[in-house]
């Protein structure tokens, strides 16, 4: 069923579920309007765009759009909320059939999204709540991210340890991860949070390293650092290394990048595990959810992309050096079976 | 009495803070903690010493933060993408710093663009420029290039040593390279500004450019040199940043700029100098470092720390402009 070319190209054993989908997908014709995909124009309207996560997200959107054969127009408002709303109107005027709203502020995007829906355009939103029943919300599950990382911390360290926690309030994904952390502390009373710190001063890793260094000198008995954002984890790792405590502290985090992989794989690295959603997959899922809407199907109101747990051992055992190898060698990271009807082309093939 | 307060008030405050934190937290009063405070302010301190040079000639350099992050990207790019060694990477960064400083100076002196505006423009220019080679990606070993290939280079061990090596000083493995660099640069720029003819002339240019010009000083050259010093210092900060982080990070460097400027301005108040001076800048940076280290150890959240940092700056400026101004008249 899988061609030799696919195997040669990716060198991975596909998950059983994907194999089941791969069969009929070849046979089945695509529903309208994707029988003539060249006529379908979609727009991606972005609020945030600089940084590795957003680059990878865009790559995912482009890959899925290409796999479908549709035209993609990218609007980038560069954190200008008013401009982002204008860009939705611009996209409407251009006559696109579907719009993906990527991040933004509820206040500025709610009405713009409604205008698009009123104009008969299908809309999906990623990581911004536009408060509209007609618009599916694509999300990476921050609670699951935190849960996976913390479950691994419990597995590695038992149910009672002294913890340092890195957190900055008021950032939506971090707040959601924080909820899970609170639940875990309630569920496992043995977890003793002796220090909480965090900052978003950039370069973030450098500023957090300075803070973490103070924290570990004040509390050298900390066993676990929960740093649910990879820039935080990187900073903590630098501090732990500088303080010579790499063997007594374990770091658990969320998110991943090529630089993170290198840091996790350093000999004796304190960075034990991270839970991550592949931003490229989130991009693909955004386009697929939109495509389902355009084909008259219902992807559901909350389209959640599940995260993957990646441990230091996984990386070492598979000799993974960058994000591409991670996708190739951990197939659950490369593809999510979300918004994946039988006719949908899989861009990873 | 007032004179003594103005001269030694800030130093006394610094000592009081150290005593307070030593009592209030465990682990503050140790050689490691002391060294760490220096380490945490090394990068902003070096930037602050650079900006002090431009303040001395009556200018200002807003581009230092982005020069530092550009140098960081350049170091990573040179090693990871171009596969150069540590020496080439360092020279590359220093050259970028000097070039940016030279351009800043030329724009300000010959095109007569006000210093704040010229360096603001340069700041934006560099923010964009540092992202162009990699299309906005951070640079790390094994990264995927825009054309789909994988970068082959790595951070050379010699370069990483700049961020990780520690010199023995009474205790083994105590003093990191960045602290040594900070101390050397601080002594150098202090000696240069206070005791060399060149440095004294820079002060003259800063206090009255017209008088300095009539006295036959090449005012324009002094100003341009000040920006070159500032650019080179900022690029040294960037090199240390790259060596500590082990990658080229997309970052604006605005926080570096603000912290550095704060340190330099706090420096006005040290010893009642009421003018930019290298010793004051170093003390100012140290002051901020002691505060942040102590507050973090007491679990104070980051926004309170920003508040405290701001309060210290305001008080220092009041010291400088109000109290010492009155006694001088």
Q: How many CA atoms lie within 13 A of A250 on its CB side?
A: 19
State the residue range of the domain holding A153.
Answer: 142-276
Signed CA dihedral, B311, B314, B320, B325: sign only: negative
**Residue B329 confidence (pLDDT):** 37
Q: How far apart are alpha carbons B168 and B304 in whole angstroms?
A: 36
Structure tokens at A88: 């939705």
The arithmetic mean of pLDDT across residues B188-196, rounded, is 94
Quick check: is A349 in a domain?
A: no
User: How close does chain B come to A82, measured CA to CA in Å?
Assistant: 22
**What's the domain count of chain A?**
2
pLDDT higher than 50, residue A22: no
Q: Which residue of A has its CA nearest to B149?
A: A324
A183 and A155 belong to one structural domain:
yes
| A206 touching B (Cβ < 8 Å) | yes
Q: The complex's ipTM?
A: 0.77
pLDDT tens per residue, range A299-348: 999 999 999 999 999 999 999 988 888 888 888 898 888 999 989 998 88
Mark which residues 178-237 of B lie under 8 Å from A by CB.
none
pLDDT tens per residue, range A221-254: 999 999 999 889 999 999 999 888 888 999 999 9
* Cβ separation B143–A262 shorter than 8 A: no
* Cβ separation B299–A197 shorter than 8 A: yes
* Cβ separation B144–A52 shorter than 8 A: no
Structure tokens at A210: 């300075």
Q: How far apart are alpha carbons B155 and B75 in whole angstroms?
A: 9
Quick check: is A342 in a domain?
A: no
Quick check: is A319 in a domain?
A: no
Residue of B163, B297, B298 to mutate, testing the A interface (most A Cβ within 10 Å of its Cβ): B297
| B22 touching A (Cβ < 8 Å) | no
**Residue A28 confidence (pLDDT):** 55
Q: Which residue of B has its CA nearest to A201?
A: B255
* The residue to which tokens 């009373």 are assigned: A189
CB B63 within 8 A of CB B275: no
Q: How far apart are alpha carbons B7 and A343 in whole angstroms?
A: 78
A122 and A207 belong to one structural domain:
no
Quick check: is A177 in a domain?
A: yes
A272 and A290 belong to one structural domain:
no
Q: Which residue has the higher pLDDT, B325 or B273?
A: B273
A266 and A283 belong to one structural domain:
no
A282 and A133 belong to one structural domain:
yes
Quick check: is A336 in a domain?
A: no
Which residue among A241, A242, A324 places its CB closest to the CB of B144? A324
* Cβ separation B244–A210 shorter than 8 A: no
| B149 touching A (Cβ < 8 Å) | no
Quick check: is A328 in a domain?
A: no
User: How close does chain A come to B123, measured CA to CA in Å?
Assistant: 15
* Cβ separation A218–B241 shorter than 8 A: no
Q: What does DSSP assign to residue B320?
A: I
A270 and A167 belong to one structural domain:
yes
Q: Which residue has the higher pLDDT, A248 or A13?
A: A248
Quick check: is A317 in a domain?
A: no
Signed CA dihedral, B224, B228, B234, B237: sign only: negative
A249 and A300 belong to one structural domain:
no
Using 50, 70 and 90 to split pLDDT, how confident is the model at B172?
confident
Residue of B69, B296, B298, B308 to mutate, testing the A interface (most A Cβ within 10 Å of its Cβ): B296
Q: What does DSSP assign to residue B272?
A: G
* Cβ separation B252–A259 shorter than 8 A: no
**Residue B164 confidence (pLDDT):** 81
User: Which residues of A fall within a CB distance of 8 Å from B72?
Assistant: 203
Q: What is the CATH number of the domain that holds A79?
A: 3.40.50.2300
Mark which residues 233-292 of B lie under 8 Å from A by CB.
241, 244-247, 249-256, 292
CB B18 within 8 A of CB B290: yes
Q: For chain B, give every domain's residue range.
A: 31-165+173-250
* The residue to which tokens 């912290």 are assigned: B259
A271 and A286 belong to one structural domain:
no
The arithmetic mean of pLDDT across residues B33-42, rounded, is 87
A173 and A68 belong to one structural domain:
no
pLDDT tens per residue, range B86-113: 999 999 999 999 999 999 999 999 999 9
């Amino acid at each position: 069923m899988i061609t030799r070319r696919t195997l040669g190209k990716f060198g991975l054993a596909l998950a059983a579920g994907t194999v089941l989908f791969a069969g009929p997908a070849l046979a089945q014709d695509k529903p309208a309007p994707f029988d003539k995909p060249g006529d379908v124009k979609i727009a991606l309207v972005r609020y945030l765009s600089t940084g590795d996560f957003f680059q990878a997200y865009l790559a995912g959107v482009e890959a899925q759009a290409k796999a479908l054969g549709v035209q993609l127009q990218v609007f980038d408002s560069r954190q200008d909320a008013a401009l982002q709303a204008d860009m939705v109107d611009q996209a409407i005027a251009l006559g696109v059939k579907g719009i993906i709203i990527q991040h933004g502020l509820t206040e500025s995007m709610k009405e713009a999204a409604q205008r698009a829906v009123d104009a008969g355009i299908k809309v999906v939103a990623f990581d911004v709540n536009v408060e509209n029943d007609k618009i599916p919300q694509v999300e990476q599950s921050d609670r699951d991210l935190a849960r996976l990382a913390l479950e691994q911390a419990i597995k590695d360290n038992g149910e009672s340890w002294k913890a340092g926690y890195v957190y900055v309030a008021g950032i939506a994904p971090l707040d959601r991860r924080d909820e899970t952390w609170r639940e875990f502390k309630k569920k496992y009373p043995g977890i003793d949070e002796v220090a909480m710190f965090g900052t978003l001063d950039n370069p973030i890793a450098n500023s957090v390293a300075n803070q973490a260094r103070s924290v570990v000198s004040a509390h050298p008995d900390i066993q676990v650092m929960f740093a649910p954002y990879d820039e935080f984890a990187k900073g903590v790792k630098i501090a732990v290394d500088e303080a010579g405590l790499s063997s007594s502290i374990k770091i658990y985090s969320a998110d991943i990048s090529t630089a993170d992989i290198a840091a996790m794989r350093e000999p004796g690295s304190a960075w034990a595990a991270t839970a991550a959603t592949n931003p490229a997959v989130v991009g693909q899922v955004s386009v697929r959810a939109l495509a389902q809407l355009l084909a008259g199907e219902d992807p559901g109101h909350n389209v959640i992309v599940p995260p993957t747990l990646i441990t230091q051992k996984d990386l070492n055992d598979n000799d993974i050096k960058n994000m591409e190898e991670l996708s190739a060698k951990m197939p659950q990271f490369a593809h999510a079976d979300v918004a994946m009807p039988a006719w949908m082309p899989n861009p990873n093939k | 009495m007032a004179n003594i307060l103005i001269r030694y008030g800030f130093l006394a405050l610094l000592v009081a803070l150290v005593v307070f934190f030593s009592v209030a937290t465990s682990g503050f009063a140790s050689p490691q903690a002391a060294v760490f405070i220096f380490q945490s302010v090394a990068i902003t301190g070096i930037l602050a010493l650079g900006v002090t040079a431009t303040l001395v000639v009556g200018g200002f350099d807003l581009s230092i933060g982005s020069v530092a992050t550009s140098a960081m990207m350049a170091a990573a790019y040179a090693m990871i993408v171009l596969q150069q060694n540590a020496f080439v990477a360092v020279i590359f960064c220093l050259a970028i710093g000097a070039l940016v400083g030279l351009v800043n100076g030329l724009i300000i002196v010959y095109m007569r663009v006000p210093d704040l505006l010229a360096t603001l423009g340069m700041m934006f220019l560099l923010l964009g420029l540092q992202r162009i080679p990699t299309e906005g990606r951070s640079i790390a070993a094994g990264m995927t290039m825009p054309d789909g290939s994988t970068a082959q280079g790595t951070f050379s061990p010699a370069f990483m040593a700049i961020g990780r090596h520690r010199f023995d000083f009474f205790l083994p493995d105590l003093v990191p390279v960045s602290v040594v660099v900070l101390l050397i640069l601080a002594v150098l720029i202090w000696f240069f500004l206070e005791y060399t003819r060149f440095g004294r002339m820079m002060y003259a240019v800063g206090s009255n450019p017209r008088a300095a010009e009539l006295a036959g000083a090449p005012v324009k050259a002094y100003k341009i040199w000040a920006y070159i010093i500032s650019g080179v210092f900022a690029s040294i900060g960037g090199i240390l940043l790259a060596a500590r982080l082990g990658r080229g990070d997309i970052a604006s460097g605005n926080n570096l700029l603000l912290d550095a400027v704060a340190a330099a301005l706090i420096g006005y108040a040290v010893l009642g100098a009421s003018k930019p001076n290298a010793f004051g800048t170093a003390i100012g940076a140290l002051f901020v470092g002691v505060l942040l280290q102590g507050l973090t150890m007491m679990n104070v959240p980051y926004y309170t720390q920003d508040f405290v940092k701001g309060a210290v700056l305001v008080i220092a400026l009041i010291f400088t402009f109000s109290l010492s101004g009155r006694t001088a008249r």
